[in-house]
Amino acid sequence: MRSTFLVVLGLSLGLPQAVPAQVNRQWQGETIQILSGLIKIDTSNPPGNETRAAQYIKDILTSEGIESEIFEAAPGRGSLVARLKGNGRKRPLLLMGHIDVVGVERSKWTVDPFAAVTQDGYLYGRGSHDDKGNVACNLEVFLQLKRAHVALDRDVIFLAEAGEEGTSEVGINFMVNQHWDKIDSEFALNEGGGMIERKGQPSFIGIETTEKIPRALKLTAHGSSGHGSIPRLDNAITHLAAAVAKVGSWQSPMKLNETTRAFFHDMAGISPPETAALLNHLDDPAVQEKLRAAAPPFNSMLRTSIVPTMISGGFRVNVIPSDAEATLDVRALPDEDMDALMASLKRLIDDPAVTISPGTTEPVRPGSPPSSLNSDMYKALRRAGEKTYSGVVTLPIMQTGATDSAQLRAKGVQAYGIGVGQTEADIVRIHGNDERVNIEQVGKFVQYLYAAVTDVAAAR
């Protein structure tokens, strides 16, 4: 009872809580145990089978006396929700992560991707980082809040969702459209950020406050079919190739928002002089070209990106096809006007034989304003970072990929992407071979997350 009293007393002062080293080791061990169990449940999407993982979590919660519900959009495609009740003085905080994973090429892994192998200080397995690692850390913090009987000013909701990897209709879209009352919240903590290590040292803590929106466009060239031995001026493949070359070399105009403006300003402050000189002069087209060549991720954060990714046409070597198609992967800024962008591309291509159209009819993530850099949640994350990672600077980032935070921001939720610390070498393993998570960093992240959650949610 004394340790619980000390936790609540400390929270009444409004301070992030330092977790004693011995306790943190215990939490780390339990989190790795939970994560190992999740990895061993193959939820590769497709087909998903997330209900199996949801039931695994439900059994853990039930053993702790915590009620939970599983909501299935389709058989086997379940998402789990649990709630710790607060006094209602503030709106809820949502801790969320997805329990489906991308598939694997087993022959290219050095370990069994679903065996949760531990070696050299790492836990290996599909989903160890994306995103079962976050789910396990969220669950550990959720359990510790319950065990310590932490008095809360706001409900803390735990969501383990299905379908993030390309089938949001059975995941976050289903929860938002059919069960919004279960996850309605003021703040949400999700995947998308994390502490980055370079050369063995923490570089910065990235908090994802907005993200680019995936769109697909299709270029279609039309011409006359004919014999391959007779060249034609209206060869569809020739016209398509010229159009793709124009699009591939073109860049949309630079446009900063609150998040990216703050990111590049603060990044300049912690960068070597030569890099800082570039980041402080982003309006210079020559600087933009240098970043395009030397720092593609930075370049992508400056603008809507358009990348040709697939091209098709023809079926025999001696037959000129009447049509040829190319797909463009567009990662749009949150406020991008897609009609205006398509008009710009049409003018750029300047070829009546080539048409441009949306590349998919599937539901897409919505655009919305970035989450605030002045909210109680963002400030709590900064304080937790200073305490847990020894003063490492926190930077807001715009995710060039996509997460399910987009649907929440469109509903007015202030959503922030965080994550377990990782090196650049580990980042490339996400969705790749031998995905892994550093066990020590898992322990640090649980400590960080607990500090942020208690800071913003515990009773004052």
Model pLDDT for residues 392-408, shown as the tens digit of each residue:
999 999 999 899 999 99
Mean pLDDT of 159-185: 97
Mean pLDDT of 225-237: 97
C-alpha to C-alpha distances, 145 to 158, 301, 416, 451, nearest whole angstrom: 12, 37, 20, 11
Please check the confidence at residue 7 and state whether its pLDDT lies above 80: no
User: Coil, helix or strand for 386?
Assistant: helix
Please check the confidence at residue 288 and state whether its pLDDT lies above 60: yes
Question: What does the pLDDT read at residue 460?
Answer: 82
The total of other beta-carbon atoms located within 10 Å of residue 72's CB is 15
User: Coil, helix or strand for 269?
Assistant: helix
Question: What does the pLDDT read at residue 130?
Answer: 96
Question: What does the pLDDT read at residue 3?
Answer: 31
User: Would you place residue 362 in the very low, low, confident or very high pLDDT band (cuts 50, 70, 90)?
Assistant: low
Average pLDDT, the chain: 93
Cα–Cα distance between 193 and 30 in angstroms, integer? Answer: 23
The total of other beta-carbon atoms located within 10 Å of residue 240's CB is 27
Nearest to 422 by CA among 164, 122, 220: 122
Whole-number percent of the chain with pLDDT over 90:
88
User: Coil, helix or strand for 140?
Assistant: helix
Please check the confidence at residue 311 and state whether its pLDDT lies above 60: yes
Please check the confidence at residue 213 and state whether its pLDDT lies above 80: yes
Please check the confidence at residue 5 and state whether its pLDDT lies above 60: no
Question: What does the pLDDT read at residue 401?
Answer: 87
Q: Which long-range contacts (CB under 8 A, 24 or more apart) does 225-230 make?
A: 225/319, 225/320, 225/321, 225/322, 226/319, 226/320, 227/318, 227/319, 227/320, 228/316, 228/317, 228/318, 228/319, 228/320, 229/318
Q: Using CA atoms in the order 210, 212, 213, 215, what is the torsion angle rounded to 10 degrees?
A: 180
Mention every residue, 6+ apart, whose C-beta is less than 8 A from residue 236: 221, 222, 223, 313, 320, 321, 322, 323, 324, 353
- Bridge partners of residue 69, in order along the sequence: 81
What pLDDT, in 10s, does the model give residues 96-142?
A: 999 999 999 999 999 999 999 999 999 999 999 999 999 999 999 99
What pLDDT, in 10s, does the model give residues 13-64?
A: 334 445 666 668 999 999 999 999 999 999 999 999 999 999 999 999 999 9
Question: What does the pLDDT read at residue 6?
Answer: 28
Please check the confidence at residue 297 and state whether its pLDDT lies above 50: yes
Question: What does the pLDDT read at residue 20?
Answer: 65
Cα–Cα distance between 253 and 213 in angstroms, integer? Answer: 17
Mean pLDDT of 161-170: 96
Nearest to 449 by CA among 413, 424, 429, 421: 421
Question: What does the pLDDT read at residue 365?
Answer: 85
